[in-house]
Structures are given as C-alpha cells and as structure tokens.
Amino acid sequence: MAETTLSASHPQPRIETMVERMRRHNRLVMALRLAVLVVLIGGWELGVRFGLIDPFFFGQPSAIALKLADWFQNGTSIGPLWKQIWVTIYEAGAGFLIGAVLGVLCGIALGRNQLLSDVFSIYIKVANSIPRVVLGSIFIVALGLGAASKVALAVVMVFFVVFANAFQGVREADKNLIANARILGASNWQVTRAVVIPSALSWILASLHVSFGFALVGAIVGEFLGAREGMGLLIATAQGSFDSNGVFAAMIVIAVVALIAEWILTLIENRLLTWRPETTAGE
C-alpha cells in the first residue's frame, strides 16, 4: 500500500518541474527579446548622436518618440491619429474577413470537387500570377478614393493565401477516415462537415496569421495610391515632406496593430484547436 502511494505521488513533482522549466524558459525569452530591442534602439540612437547614421534619411528613436507623442496629443497633419488608425483597421479588417471567408469556401469547394478544380484551376493560377498590388490603381479608378477600393485590394491580397491553404488542407484529409464515414452512410455534406473541415482547420488557421498582414498591406498600399485618410496616406504625407521620423512613427503604429491582431488570432486558434498537443521547450 505504501509503495502504491509513493508511486502515485511521483507525477506531481515531475509536472511541477516541467511547469517551472517552462516559466524559466519564458522569462529567458522575454529578457532576451528586451535585450535585443534595447541594443537595436540604443545602437540606432547612439549612431545618430555620434554622426554615424544620418537622421535625415533614417530618423532618430528619440525624435520618433516625440513625433508619436505629438500625434497622440495634437493629431496629425491629416486629422486625429486615432481616426487614421481606425480607418486602416476597418479597411484591413473588412478585407480580411471577406477574403478569408471567400478563400475558405472556394478552397473547400474546389478541394472536394475534382471537376470544379479541373475547370477553375487554370484561372486561379492566372489570377494568382498577377501582381496584386498593381490592382490597387484599377480599384481606385473603379471604386474611388473611399474605403471600398482599399477593402477590395485587401480582399484580393487575402483570398489567394487562404484559398491555397484551405484547398491543400482538404486534399490532405485522411482518406481512411473519409472511407469509414462513407461506409457508415455519411453523405457528402456530413463527410465535409465532420471529417474534411476539422482536418483542414489547422491549415486554414495557419494561413490567417499570414493573411492579416497581407490585408494590412493591401489597405495601406491602397491608401498610399490614393485616399482621403488612413495610415497609408499619413506615410505618403510624411514622405512628401521628407519627414523620416513621421514615416517610422507610422510604421510603429502599424506594427503594433499587426501584433495585436496576431495575438487575437492566436487566442482564437488555441480555442479552436484545443485537441492539439502543446510543445515544450527542448523538444
């Protein structure tokens, strides 16, 4: 009885040891990240102060911080900063959602239907070969300087990334599971819903991390080409006045937005893929 009690108590210390090891690893990673950031920004600032880096072309961290503070307090040359951020988030978010939904639906449909895949594959390849950023000018001519042209460009940027992953995820679904489901009498829709989509979910979610960045690129490039407001227009305005600090300040704001979106997508992925085993440090 004593041996059984002793053996049953072994897993608990081992679990605590693994948890503590992961905590130490996370603290080390965070410390190293901060160290890299301090070295980069500190080296940049010192390089400017000692005349090794020209601030006219590459800006200066302290001047960029002052520019951001001024924008938050007094607004930008084209309006309040929060409004410019919201416009870009709206355009990128709308394009991301529309492009992701269309990409998933088309990827699953063509992945499950060989005839549709054979018919439309050539057209998708041709459309994918076109530099999508070039379409921004066409969308601005057709849809105007408002949000519609930026959303359209973001949709095109997102669609092909999500479509490719959804299509490949459907094709990689376990054929044995599909065959077993059919033996049990499942219809095509039931097989797709219960077997194929869960199998492709990890592929689809992986594409979303990349595609939101493309949605931001689409929105900002569209604003850069022609817009009334937004972060892309703010960058174009700073560029036109040779304000490198303004360009870098706008880039920092966009990077923060992208990091927040990445964090939200990671939370959604972790909730949807609860069955996925966690990786530990050292594996």
Three-state secondary structure readout of the chain: CHHHHHHHCCHHHHHHHHHHHHHHHHHHHHHHHHHHHHHHHHHHHHHHHCCCCCHHHHCCHHHHHHHHHHHHHHCECCECHHHHHHHHHHHHHHHHHHHHHHHHHHHHHHHHCHHHHHHHHHHHHHHHHCCHHHHHHHHHHHHCCCHHHHHHHHHHHHHHHHHHHHHHHHHCCCHHHHHHHHHCCCCHHHHHHHHHHHHHHHHHHHHHHHHHHHHHHHHHHHHHHCCCCCHHHHHHHHHHCCCHHHHHHHHHHHHHHHHHHHHHHHHHHHHHCCCCCCCCCCC
pLDDT at 11: 59
**Is there a single domain that holds both residue 11 and residue 124?**
no
**Is there a single domain that holds both residue 10 and residue 148?**
no
pLDDT band at 128 (very low <50, low <70, confident <90, very high): confident
Find out whether 95 and 153 touch, Cβ atoms under 8 Å.
Answer: yes
The answer as to whether 283 is a domain residue is no
The answer as to whether 280 is a domain residue is no
The answer as to whether 152 is a domain residue is yes
pLDDT band at 56 (very low <50, low <70, confident <90, very high): confident
pLDDT at 273: 66
**Is there a single domain that holds both residue 29 and residue 96?**
no
pLDDT band at 248 (very low <50, low <70, confident <90, very high): very high
What confidence tens digit (pLDDT) does each residue in 167-208 have? 888 888 777 877 887 887 777 778 877 788 888 888 888 888
Find out whether 197 and 139 touch, Cβ atoms under 8 Å.
Answer: no
Find out whether 178 and 198 touch, Cβ atoms under 8 Å.
Answer: no
Residue 132 or residue 263, greater confidence: 263
pLDDT at 277: 47
**Is there a single domain that holds both residue 30 and residue 127?**
no
- Residues spanned by the domain of 135: 59-272
pLDDT band at 113 (very low <50, low <70, confident <90, very high): confident
The answer as to whether 282 is a domain residue is no
**Is there a single domain that holds both residue 47 and residue 90?**
no
**Is there a single domain that holds both residue 197 and residue 113?**
yes
* pLDDT over 70 at 13, yes or no: no
- The total of structural domains in the chain comes to 2
The answer as to whether 85 is a domain residue is yes
* pLDDT over 90 at 253, yes or no: yes
Mean pLDDT across the chain, nearest whole number?
Answer: 85
pLDDT band at 281 (very low <50, low <70, confident <90, very high): very low
**Is there a single domain that holds both residue 147 and residue 35?**
no
Which is nearest to 131 in space by CA: 221, 206, 235? Answer: 221
Residue showing tokens 């992925």: 269
**Is there a single domain that holds both residue 163 and residue 241?**
yes
Which is nearest to 252 in space by CA: 47, 65, 11? Answer: 65
* pLDDT over 50 at 6, yes or no: no
- pLDDT (average), residues 206-227: 89
**Is there a single domain that holds both residue 40 and residue 66?**
no
Identify any residues that bridge with 79 across adjacent strands, giving them in sequence order: 76
pLDDT band at 92 (very low <50, low <70, confident <90, very high): very high
Which is nearest to 213 in space by CA: 169, 131, 146, 154? Answer: 154
Q: 68-99: buried (b, 16+ CB within 10 Å) or exposed (e) per residue? A: beebeeeebebeebeebbebbbebbbbbbbbb
pLDDT band at 280 (very low <50, low <70, confident <90, very high): very low
- pLDDT (average), residues 10-19: 68
Alpha-carbon distances of 115 from 11, 118, 135, 166, 200, rounded to whole Å: 54, 5, 29, 17, 20
**Is there a single domain that holds both residue 35 and residue 95?**
no
- pLDDT (average), residues 59-74: 91
Range of weakest confidence among 60-74, 85-99, 109-123, 252-266: 109-123
- pLDDT (average), residues 64-77: 91
* pLDDT over 90 at 99, yes or no: yes
Find out whether 94 and 154 touch, Cβ atoms under 8 Å.
Answer: yes
- pLDDT (average), residues 146-157: 92
What's this model's pTM, rounded to 2 decimal places? 0.81
Last residue of a domain, one of 19, 38, 53: 53
pLDDT at 199: 80
The answer as to whether 281 is a domain residue is no
